[in-house]
Amino acid sequence: MRIEAVDLFYLAMPAITTEADGSQDALLVRVAAGGHVAWGECEASPLVSIAAFVCPMSHGVCRPVGASVLGETLDGPADIARIAARVEYDSMDLLQAPHMFSGVEMALWDLLGKARGEPVWRLLGYDASHKKVPYASMLFGDTPVDTLRHARDARANGFGAAKFGWGPIGRGDARADAEHFVAAREGLGPDAVLLVDVGQIWGEDVEAAAARLPALEAAQATWLEEPFHSSALESYQALSRRSTKVRMAGGEGAHNFSMARHLIDYGGVGFIQIDTGRIGGIGPAKRVADYAVARGVTFVNHTFTSHLALSASLQPFAGLQDHRICEFPFAPKSLSLDITRNHLQRDANGEIAAPDAPGLGIDVDPQGLREYLVDVDIRVGGKLLYATPASL
């Protein structure tokens, strides 16, 4: 097959707020080849990623992502790897390239799966798609009472695991944070899995993070996620060594395999969290999953957007029976739900799995998206480089 067309669609909620909620906009990627149409999604700034696809070449290794994709042959997984390697080399000086290419790569797997009538996880070499325990991913409340209510909501909705993130944590003192941890545990009850995500709030400051460890231990948190900048490996390592019960989690900022590997090898994380919409797609995420297995680290998806992104993010570890926890967007914006006709429904045990249907197994709903579509046009030197495609 020949990659005939790659179309990009910028979708957004009518109003975007400053909350740390990545489901407020999306960049969908539609790829056409061999009579098939497939979809992917970038977890990245839509406008900047569009620019990275269409920008004029700056020099030999600062070329637009589109130049490495359009017209290429796609007949098997090796072609996806070849195209990815070409993007990595020819766009090495284009920083946004991995975020942009992630959505394309995802669509290439979807397309290949559809063409072969196979789910992507099988193309990756797995024999089965094992059930995962989804955790409700939500933000901390503004007050401990709000956090308590959020935790009870998660429990009432049948989640046996919940992750609380961002919000007030790290903005006041350790005691104020501890009240939120206590409230979260109280709302979830004693048996549920409690996960805490602080969104890089402490930069490189190990002491600030360490001051929260006793309260996290007391609340029996399974992990502390992103205490530091994603590249502050020394801080990760220092905190990992000081924490006996709570393990560190991180990796959503990884935009290539090596960054995830370094969080494992040098940062000492116990959980490596990969967003297939950022790391370059499903291929590099699978490579991280293999590496995590070899190093005794648990692979977890990072997903805060649509069920298209959710399916893509489950594929890299679908076949790993012991890597049980998965992120599940608990209360995304309507845009994020409306992107797809079908959704990954939790079964009677509250569990989900990567679909058995061909490709990513998710139907994108063009009709449902019209109202969110953002008109963009980019002109350079009098030439129209990008305009929102007329047909969705």
Torsion of the alpha carbons at 189, 152, 26 and 61, rounded to the nearest 10: -20
What are the C-alpha distances in Å from 381 to residues 94, 123, 378, 384? Answer: 20, 43, 10, 8
Q: 30 - beta bridge partners?
A: 7, 39
CB-neighbour burial class of residue 79 (10 A; exposed 0-12, middle 13-18, buried 19+): middle
Residue 294 binds a copy of itself (CB under 8 A): no
Which of 124-132, 184-192, 250-258, 313-321 is the region at the interface with a copy of itself (rule: CB under 8 A)? Answer: 250-258
Structure tokens at 264: 């494992």
Among 62, 133, 320, 357, the residue binding a copy of itself under the rule CB under 8 A is: 62
The encoded tokens of residue 211 equal 């001051």
Q: CB 96 → a copy of itself: shortest distance, Å?
A: 4
**Shortest distance, position 260 Cβ to a copy of itself, whole Å:** 10
256 touches a copy of itself (CB under 8 A): yes
Q: Which is nearer to a copy of itself, 145 or 266 (CB)?
A: 266
- Read out DSSP for 200-260? TTTTT-HHHHHTTHHHHHHTTEEEEE--S-TT-HHHHHHHHHH-SSSEEEE-TT--SHHHH
Find the binding residues for a copy of itself in span 295-334 (CB under 8 A). Answer: none
The helix/strand/coil state of 7 is: strand
Query: Residue 388 in contact with residue 374, Cβ under 8 Å?
Result: yes
* Contact stretch for a copy of itself (CB under 8 A) within 60-68, 124-132, 155-163, 286-294: 60-68
What's the rounded Cα separation, in Å, for the pair 249 and 262?
13
Stretch that binds a copy of itself, among 45-53, 148-156, 180-188, 243-251 (CB under 8 A): 45-53
To the nearest whole angstrom, how small is the minimum distance from the Cβ of residue 343 to a copy of itself?
22
Nearest distance from C-beta of residue 358 to a copy of itself, angstroms: 31
Nearer to a copy of itself, 161 or 279 (CB): 279
| CB 27, min distance to a copy of itself, A | 9
Closest CA to 321 of 136, 132, 192: 132
Query: How far apart are CB 237 and a copy of itself at their closest, in Å?
Result: 11
| 292 is a site residue for a copy of itself (CB under 8 A) | no
Buried b vs exposed e over 221-240: b needs ≥16 C-beta within 10 Å? bbbbbbbbebebbebbbbbb
Residues 135-194 that bind a copy of itself (CB under 8 A): 166
Q: How far is the CB of 84 from a copy of itself (least distance, A)?
A: 12
Is residue 24 at the binding interface for a copy of itself, with CB under 8 A as the rule? yes
Within positions 206 to 245, which residues make up the interface with a copy of itself, using CB under 8 A?
229-234
108-147 in b/e burial notation, b at 16+ Cβ within 10 A? bbbbbbbbeeebbbbbbebeebbbbbbbbbbbbbeebebb
Residue of 262, 324, 343, 346 that binds a copy of itself (CB under 8 A): 262
Taking CB under 8 A as the rule, does residue 57 contact a copy of itself?
yes
> Which residues are near a copy of itself by CB under 8 A?
10, 12, 16-22, 24-25, 43-48, 50-52, 54-63, 85, 88-89, 92-96, 98-99, 166, 199-200, 203, 229-234, 253, 255-256, 258-259, 261-262, 266, 278, 374-382, 385
